[in-house]
Copies of this chain bind each other. A is one copy, B any other.
């Protein structure tokens, strides 16, 4: 089994566990959305609209609201992250692994997104939180500007 397939299976298990724990149900629609999301959007930051349009091609009967609800479920179960890059639309990305926590640089001209991670920043943040006796649940860090292509004055 490829590492990618293994990762997908792990997320699937986690999602199933969540479904069971909360007494929810497995459905064809959730399967379809799960597969589309984890097969084609790894490392991407997809909007609900985009994912819906994509899925509709193969499964025209799936409803818009269901995609909304399912992505929210993915987030709640810890297999997807919700992102907001200031354009008013929520974006979702599959979580690769707990270890691959990262942040984003967004080009305000072309929309290109560059991911980055930095241990020094992460430990600074923990320290700051500790100093203020804050019990951190999550944090976000975004850099906005022009990418190398768009930034040529």
A residues in contact (CB < 8 Å) with B: 84, 86, 105, 107-108, 114, 116, 118, 120-121, 124-125, 128-129, 132-148, 151
Contacts and interface: CB of A to CB of B under 8 A. Distances in A.
Contact of A143 (B84, B134, B143, B145): B134
Given A135-B151, A151-B135, A143 B128 contact: yes
Contacts of A121: 121, 124-125
Tallying the copies of this chain within the complex gives 2
A135 to B, nearest CB: 4
A67 B120 CA distance: 41
Given A114-B132, A124-B118, A151-B135, A141 B144 contact: no
Given A128-B116, A132-B148, A133-B148, A141 B141 contact: yes
A128 B104 CA distance: 11
A84 B147 CA distance: 23
Contacts of A135: 145-147, 151
Contacts of A118: 124, 128
B120 A134 contact: no
A22 to B, nearest CB: 21
Nearest to A151: B135
